[in-house]
Amino acid sequence: MDSIWKQTAELPRFAPLEGDLKTDVLVIGGGMAGLLCAYWLDRAGVDYALVEARRLCGGVTGNTTAKLTFQHGLIYARLLREFGLGRARLYLEANRAALGQYRELCREAGCDFQERDAYVYALTDRRKLDRELEALERLGFPAEFSRTPALPMPTAGAVKFTKQAQFHPLKFAAAIAKGLRIFEGTKVLELAPGRAVTNRGTVTAENIVAATHFPLLNKHGAYFLKLYQARSYVLALENVPEVGGMYVDEGEKGLSFRDYKGFLLLGGGGHRTGKKGGGWRELEDFAKRRYPQAGIAARWAAQDCMTLDGVPYVGRYSRGTKGLYVATGFNKWGMTSSMAAARLLADLVQGKENPWAELFSPSRRVLRPQLAANAWESTMGLLTPTVPRCPHMGCALKYNPQEHSWDCPCHGSRFGEDGELLDNPATDGKRL
Ligand code: FES
């Protein structure tokens, strides 16, 4: 089933590229990050073009829960510990600025923008919340401890950020895409610095931005080791009381809550792509227990790229690829991260300094235990002798009975039962 966003918005259509093209900046990928990048380049008067293999915002952006907040779980205590005060503050500032930019743009966009408070709750461990509040105090941002009376289960409380927001991501995308130089149905088949061969012609560009969710090129940047993908699930419930704010569990496998026009969007059931997890069944069980009168109006799932240290990779694709840039690894916080990434990349391709460049640099040191976990999954996937195999790097695919798809535990490519490509990094469908 389509997400509630896809059911209630009409995106403008753009013709495919016809023949070769020369431009200063090529943006590959028409999700929120690519679109915003094109938007800021357009505003800056830069010569650019955006190519999208299928339709605008057909991937993650159409399946998000669309929370606009710089409260990304309990991230600030972790950032302080691992990155130090300066970088933790930069992360907060980059995402706070992103929320401000959405607020501005949403004024004219007609995208159901609503100011709401955001909460990260803990089911049992109040100490984690206290540590986050202390970290935020050190960063000079006044968060509050809060009870969570609107939630249908007991919690140990929550960290509350006031004046955050929620919106309709596709109504927003439809508004800002107007007048941009976009080519849909234009798929990149080969990519190298300065040149992209598409199914409709070759694009030559001094700078290229890969905003393709999972990066396309395997031979640079080692993204197949530095990223993994995770699935999470959403139910739109009707006949349920409003929660009034945006709530997420501090635990990786917990639930999230937000309202949209009489529906409660209940998220959760997450797992690494290609592995077993709760899925919609977990959400249905929760709804039956806590909202026995509820009906399910829609269900959908999202796919997210997760980095090793919890901070997105935005900047030069790799040290050795001049003029090639990337934005990926938004760790389930794709809305503000897309905006921050777009602002940063728009500066970088124009040769401007940006204070966030080092924090988000994909070439930063990312030695974390997750690197070994990713390498282990890839090795196991390659050694598992079953068919079908994934065309990306050859791992064994696993059948996902809830979504009727074939999913790859190595880097998260997904295929329909008919072999149609659903999610990258694979670039083509699979004969199953
Ligand atoms: Fe890389 Fe399947 S996604 S091998």
Tens digit of each residue's pLDDT (9 = 90 or more) over 242-297:
999 999 999 988 999 999 999 999 999 999 999 999 999 999 999 999 999 999 99
Q: Which atom of ligand 1 is nearest to the CA of 425?
A: 3
Residue range 305-327: mean pLDDT, rounded: 97
Average pLDDT, the chain: 96
Query: Phi and psi dihedrals of 316, rounded to 5?
Result: -55, 130
Q: Using a 6 Å cutoff on CB, does residue 105 contact ligand 1?
A: no
- 64-120: pLDDT as tens digits: 999 999 999 999 999 999 999 999 999 999 999 999 999 999 999 999 999 999 999
Q: Using a 6 Å cutoff on CB, does residue 408 contact ligand 1?
A: yes
Distances (CA, A) of 138 to 85, 88, 89, 299: 8, 10, 9, 40
pTM for the complete prediction? 0.97
Residue 142: what pLDDT? Answer: 86
Kindly state the percentage of the chain with pLDDT values over 90: 97
pLDDT band of 14, cuts 50, 70, 90: very high
Residue 337: what pLDDT? Answer: 98
Q: Which atom of ligand 1 is nearest to the CA of 413?
A: 3
Q: Using a 6 Å cutoff on CB, does residue 392 contact ligand 1?
A: yes
pLDDT band of 5, cuts 50, 70, 90: very high
Q: Using a 6 Å cutoff on CB, does residue 393 contact ligand 1?
A: yes
Whether residue 432 is predicted with pLDDT greater than 70 in this model: the reply is: no
Choose one of 407, 408, 421, 430 to mutate for the ligand 1 pocket test, by most ligand atoms within 8 angstroms of C-beta: 408
Q: Using a 6 Å cutoff on CB, does residue 213 contact ligand 1?
A: no
Whether residue 345 is predicted with pLDDT greater than 70 in this model: the reply is: yes
Whether residue 431 is predicted with pLDDT greater than 70 in this model: the reply is: no
Residue 429: what pLDDT? Answer: 82
How many residues are recorded in the chain? 432
Residue 124: what pLDDT? Answer: 96
